[in-house]
Amino acid sequence: VTASRLLISKQTIPHYYLTVDTCVDKLLDLRSQLNSLLEASGGKRISVNDLVIKAAALALRKVPQCNSSWTDDYIRQYNNVNINVAVQTENGLYVPVIRNADKKGLSSISSEVKQLAQKAKENSLKPEDYEGGTFTVSNLGGPFGIKQFCAIINPPQSGILAVGSAEKRVIPSSGPEQFQFASFMSVTLSCDHRVIDGAIGAEWLKAFKGYIENPESMLL
């Protein structure tokens, strides 16, 4: 099923790709603070990917054209933001869904991702666990250290975000021979050009980058 869907996707969807670098220093600081609070209260830790899912969901709420599907006759724009999350297992690739991710708190998203990933590894996902998604996030950076990649769209969706690893870089500072360090994460948005043109895709990435680089805005 996965093989045939990916083949149809690549053969019939006019893919194009947009990549940006996002500074994740503030995101990592916020994650550290939240995890300290969660550990003190007996809660489970939040991952960078949980924050990425939340940022993607809020960006879809801000740029709803990217939360859409091509139907041959018209473009269907969804009211709900349901994020599929790619999970690799010994039995292959699964993409369970986090429903209404834009309306859920980070701890709820984190808990659901862990539960669904466990079900995927146990091969016990039900159709309702992976159907009805409107956008997909695929992260090969955190688990595998992949710097950057281009993901194949999960039909009938119109976009998928490929998340690379965070790496420290030297960046110029204010004066000559002055520099500082910052951590950057590359993300690539694959778009269906029938639904999302270049300017809209760029607008979505700008919104996503804004949430990643100013993560406290996700908590408002």
Q: Choose, from 21, 25, 129, 193, the residue flagged as catalytic.
A: 193
Contact 195, 65 (CB under 8 A): yes
The model's pLDDT over 115-133, given as tens digits with 9 standing for 90+, comes to 999 999 999 999 999 999 9
Which letter does DSSP use for residue 91 in this model?
A: T
Residue 38 is predicted with a pLDDT of 93
Under 8 Å between Cβ of 134 and 157 = yes
Query: How far from the centroid of its chain's Cα atoms is residue 198's Cα?
Result: 19
On the question of pLDDT at 203 being above 90, the answer is yes
What percentage of the chain has pLDDT greater than the value 90?
87
| Cis ω before 14 (30° cut-off from 0) | no
**Structure confidence at residue 210 as a pLDDT band (50, 70, 90):** very high
**What pLDDT band is residue 220 in, cutting at 50, 70 and 90?**
confident
Indicate the angle between helix axes 198-213 and 25-40, nearest 10 degrees. Answer: 50
Which pLDDT does position 142 carry in this prediction? 85
The domain defined by 1-218 folds into: Chloramphenicol Acetyltransferase (3.30.559)
Mean pLDDT is lowest, of 11-20, 83-92, 159-168, 209-218, for 83-92
Per-residue pLDDT, averaged over 182-203, amounts to 97
Name the residue with tokens 């369970």. 96
Does the structure show a pLDDT above 90 at 92? no
Task: Give the Cβ contact number of residue 2 at 10 Å.
Answer: 11
- CB-hemisphere CA count at 13 Å for 95? 24
- Rounded-to-integer distance, Cα 10 and Cα 154, Å: 10
Task: Look at residue 188 in the predicted model and tell me its pLDDT.
Answer: 98
Q: How far apart are CA 125 and CA 119, in angstroms?
A: 6
Domain boundaries, the chain: 1-218
Euclidean distance between CA atoms 101 and 82, whole angstroms? 6
Q: Confidence class of residue 200 from pLDDT cuts 50, 70 and 90?
A: very high
Q: Which of 194, 215, 220 is nearest to 65 (CA)?
A: 194
Cβ atoms of residues 124 and 113 within 8 Å: no
- Residue 90's pLDDT is what? 87
88 against 22, higher pLDDT: 22
Q: Which pLDDT value is given to residue 57?
A: 98
Task: Quote the pLDDT of residue 217.
Answer: 95
Longest dimension (CA), the chain: 59
Distances from the Cα of 181 to the Cα of 23, 119, 184, angstroms:
11, 39, 10
- Provide CB contacts within 8 A for 118, sequence distance 6+: none
| Residue 15 a catalytic site member | no
The pLDDT value recorded for residue 91 is 83
Model confidence band, residue 212 (pLDDT cutoffs 50, 70, 90): very high
Average pLDDT, whole number, for the chain?
Answer: 95
Contacts of 217 (CB under 8 A, 6+ apart): 210, 211
Confidence of residue 176 (pLDDT cuts 50, 70, 90): confident
